[in-house]
Chains A and B, each alone.
Chain A
Amino acid sequence: MSVLSSFLGTTGFATMTLGHLVMIIIGIVFITLAIARHYEPLLLLPIGFGVIVGNIPHIESMALGVYDVGSVLSYIYFGVSQGIFPPLIFLGIGAMTDFSTMLSNPKLVLLGGAAQIGIFLTLIGALYIGFTPEEAAAIGIIGGADGPTAIFLSSKLAPHLLGAIAIAAYSYMALVPVIQPPVMMLLTTQKERRIRMKEPRAIGKRERIIFPIAAFLIAALIAPGSIALLGMLFFGNLMKESGVTERLAESARNALIDIVTILLGFSVGASTQADTFLTPQSLLIFGLGAVSFAVATAGGVLFAKLMNLFLKEKINPLVGAAGVSAVPDSARVVQMVGQQEDPQNYLLMHAMAPNVAGVIGSAISAGILWSVLVK
Chain B
Amino acid sequence: MSVQYDFQNVIDNQGISIAITGMLIVFVALCLISLFISILPRIVSALNNRFPEPAEAATVSSSTDPAIVAAIGLALHRRSQATGGRRT
Contact = CB atoms under 8 A, between A and B. Distances in A.
Chain A complexes with chain B: yes
Interface of A: 34, 38, 40-43, 89, 93, 96, 100-104, 106-107, 109-110, 112-113, 116-117, 119-121, 123-124, 127-133, 135-137, 145-149, 170, 173, 199-208, 210-211, 214-215, 218-219, 222-223, 243, 280-281, 284, 325-329, 332, 335, 344, 346, 348-349, 357, 359-361, 364-365, 368-369, 372-373
Contact of A128 (B9, B23, B82): B9
Given A149-B88, A207-B40, A207-B41, 17 more contacts: A38-B81, A41-B84, A101-B62, A106-B35, A124-B16, A128-B5, A128-B7, A130-B4, A203-B60, A204-B59, A210-B40, A214-B36, A325-B88, A328-B86, A346-B69, A346-B70, A357-B33
Contacts of A120: 18-20, 22-23
14 contacts: A41-B83, A96-B86, A101-B62, A124-B15, A128-B6, A130-B9, A133-B13, A148-B88, A223-B29, A327-B86, A327-B88, A349-B62, A349-B69, A372-B21
A147 B73 contact: no
B87 A329 contact: yes
Contact of B22 (A208, A219, A372): A372
- Interface size range of chain B in the complex: 35 or more
Contacts of B77: 332
A372 B14 CA distance: 11
Nearest to A106: B37
Nearest to B7: A128
Nearest to A344: B66
Contacts of A365: 22, 26
B62 A119 contact: no
A364 B28 CA distance: 11
B66 A42 contact: no
A94 to B, nearest CB: 11
B43 A199 contact: no
A137 to B, nearest CB: 8
A206 B20 CA distance: 36
Contact of A368 (B1, B14, B26, B83): B26
Contacts of B84: 34, 38, 40-43
Contacts of A170: 87
B37 A211 contact: yes
B86 A332 contact: no
A204 B27 contact: no
Contacts of B32: 218, 222
Contact of B25 (A129, A223, A329): A223
Contacts of B33: 106, 109, 215, 218-219, 357, 360
Nearest to B31: A110
A125 B87 CA distance: 26
A104 B40 CA distance: 10
Contacts of B9: 127-128, 130
A40 B1 CA distance: 31
A133 B1 contact: no
A202 B59 CA distance: 7
Contact of A102 (B20, B37, B88): B37
B1 A123 contact: no
Contacts of A147: 87-88
B5 A130 contact: yes
B63 A361 contact: no
Given A93-B88, A329-B87, A109 B26 contact: no
A364 B84 CA distance: 27
A346 B88 contact: no
B3 A280 contact: yes
B31 A129 contact: no
List 6 A-B pairs, minimum CB-CB distance, nearest first.
A106-B37, A120-B19, A41-B84, A42-B84, A113-B30, A202-B61
Given A214-B36, A222-B32, A346-B70, A128 B26 contact: no
